[in-house]
Amino acid sequence: MDQLTTLTWQYVAGRVEPAELPMAAAHLLVAGFDSPALRDLAGRAPNDDTAEVFREALAELGKALPDERTADRCLIHHLAGLLAAGELAPATVAGEVWFLAMRGDTEAEEAFIDAIGPEYLMDFRVEGPTEQYRAWVEGVRSAAERLCRTEAPIR
């Protein structure tokens, strides 16, 4: 997924704060996205009113902010893809999924969230690679791969 789309999901889900938007805009410019409002946003200080300029940049780039539920679901699919590709560790993905504190809308989303399970925070954050931990990692990776074979809410 492109950086702009992912940023919109992260912003709506609360994973990117308004103060982080100027740096995110700068990264988007480097990635090849461009609009007058995006350039304006990249030059702003983190404490400026960045949310409105971000919305303006999105409009100029033909993007809309998704609703919160859709953003959360898209992030779940995105995180599963990064895990399946080996770009993120299971514990990192689990922490992000726990932050979203959501339930899935499809069987594959539910299976992925359930594979992470409540034990993640209690058992696996501090322990070394036990047999139970390795089984958990395999279960989460397998559920991520299954989720990747399903269609995301939006692309």
pLDDT digits (tens, 9 = 90+) for 32-55: 999 999 999 999 998 888 999 999
Q: Which amino acid is at 137?
A: V
Cα–Cα distance, 147 to 106 (Å, whole number) = 9
What is residue 128's predicted lDDT score, i.e. its pLDDT? 61
With 80 as the cut, is the pLDDT of residue 6 above it? yes
Q: Which residue has the tokens 């034990």?
A: 119
Weakest mean pLDDT among 7-16, 17-26, 64-73, 123-132: 123-132
With 60 as the cut, is the pLDDT of residue 147 above it? yes
**Cβ contact 69:13 at 8 Å:** no
Q: Is residue 154 part of a domain?
A: no
Cα–Cα distance, 91 to 56 (Å, whole number) = 35
Q: Do 52 and 94 have their domain in common? A: no
- Domain end, chosen from 40, 60, 80, is at 60
| Overall domain count for the chain | 2
Q: Long-range contacts: 148-153, Cβ < 8 Å, 24+?
A: 148/77, 148/80, 148/81, 148/84, 149/108, 150/77, 150/106, 150/108, 150/109, 152/73, 152/74, 152/77, 152/78, 153/70, 153/73, 153/74, 153/77, 153/105
Q: Do 27 and 54 have their domain in common? A: yes
Q: Do 128 and 80 have their domain in common? A: yes
What is residue 85's predicted lDDT score, i.e. its pLDDT? 95
- Domain end, chosen from 60, 83, 106, is at 60
Q: Which domain holds residue 72?
A: 68-148
Q: HSE (CB half, 13 Å, CA atoms) of 44?
A: 22
Q: Do 107 and 143 have their domain in common? A: yes
What is residue 155's predicted lDDT score, i.e. its pLDDT? 57
Q: Do 52 and 120 have their domain in common? A: no
Cα–Cα distance, 93 to 107 (Å, whole number) = 19
Q: Do 116 and 54 have their domain in common? A: no
Q: Is residue 153 part of a domain?
A: no
